[in-house]
Amino acid sequence: MLKRFVFASLAFVALIVPGAFALALLAAPAARPEPLQQAGCDRSLVEAAAGIAAVQMRVRGLTAASDREICNATRDSIF
């Protein structure tokens, strides 16, 4: 009797678990690929590059200027 119960339990689990898993897969929404970049990232990268270029130009301009042209506050903030 115990042998028959164990066999019936295993058969029940072997039929129900894969069936429930298959139904769950069928009921799940389809996967949608995420966009590679979010909207607006290109613009923010361009703005960041422009800002870096502006800072580099200011630093180059400060290093090219003579000591007389740089005020003390600017000199203190650079060093």
**pLDDT band at 71; cut points 50, 70, 90:** low
Handedness of CA 41, 46, 50, 53 (dihedral sign): positive
CA distance 30 to 19: 19
Q: Each residue of 23-58: pLDDT tens digit? A: 998 988 887 777 666 665 666 777 888 889 988 888
